[in-house]
Structure 1
């Protein structure tokens, strides 16, 4: 019964992770479309940036397909033959792909999202905020799962390569978390400028009026003082 429950939880986790990956993949492509169709000059002129976003969206699609295929192979081998050498090899491949997804797909994509946010003068689309929050939550969950796996590795003492892989993946996830926090700050600043343009303009006008009025008042007082003395 315990084994059945454990396998059921693994399948539920795998399905949820697959659905989240599908949502993430959809947001990556939607982000590319929004960047491609924006009229902001700082983004439209950045041809290499848009090509990089497209390239990593394609890489993400290929990595997702490969990971899903490996997981299906893992389930099939487990049902037919149980845990044998082929099953262990597939598990190792999934661990390697998870590490590669973090460093080759997730981290570069969040870096590109930060570059777009810094270069743009206002929010391009709400998908930027959704993607940033999603990446932040996903990084938190992934860090928790990686820490649990790392703890199990230390208890069970598996191959040293897996512990090194998990530690490097955790470092990549930490970078992603920090970049997501910076990205959200940058996006909300742009969103504030976009929502309150009149208030910002009024504040700038008031600041300029105060700056220019000070020497005028000073000049008038000086002139009045000279006239009084005469």
Structure 2
């Protein structure tokens, strides 16, 4: 790693500089490679100097999340609540995709950080400003889950490996799988498959995300118009 410049070494060390440098390191090398020692080296200080600004690695990760999530645009967008919510969620998705490690760290947190709470508050506020009741908004936020921050936890972290068509016996393996799992095979063959998607080889992550988001928002709107209320006894009432 390149030595910090003289100007960087002379810059006063503060919490914001520590966090933003850590974000840049994670963006460049992944969260797994980030350590307090490496961060101190990048900043041109001894590791103990960092602990004046972050108590430990967990506090560092929380602060890094706040830097990233705090940059999500929460300005009013669109003509109605659906447009506003959609814009904020897709804005969150764009922001988190620019920092590939952030969703992984978010999933590891036991409680939301201040910036995450502020983002959630802005989305809840958009639903409430649109006239959705507290009752419906409560269930809406459960339905959105991690999607409110622009990512989803898929059934599998990565798609299953497909047999190599050039490998001996691959044709028989594919035929056997199609016999055992005909509906899976039907869907798998419905699109041209290539690699790199978390929702299945050949799937367009962005399209699938927006498809599900729009279905949810349309459903929320329908329930709102119907005056939907929960039963108060643990189950929904239509």
Do they fold alike, i.e. is TM over 0.5?
A: no
Q: As a proportion of its length, which structure holds more helix? A: 1
Larger Rg: 1
TM-score normalized by the length of structure 1? 0.24
TM-score normalized by the length of structure 2? 0.24
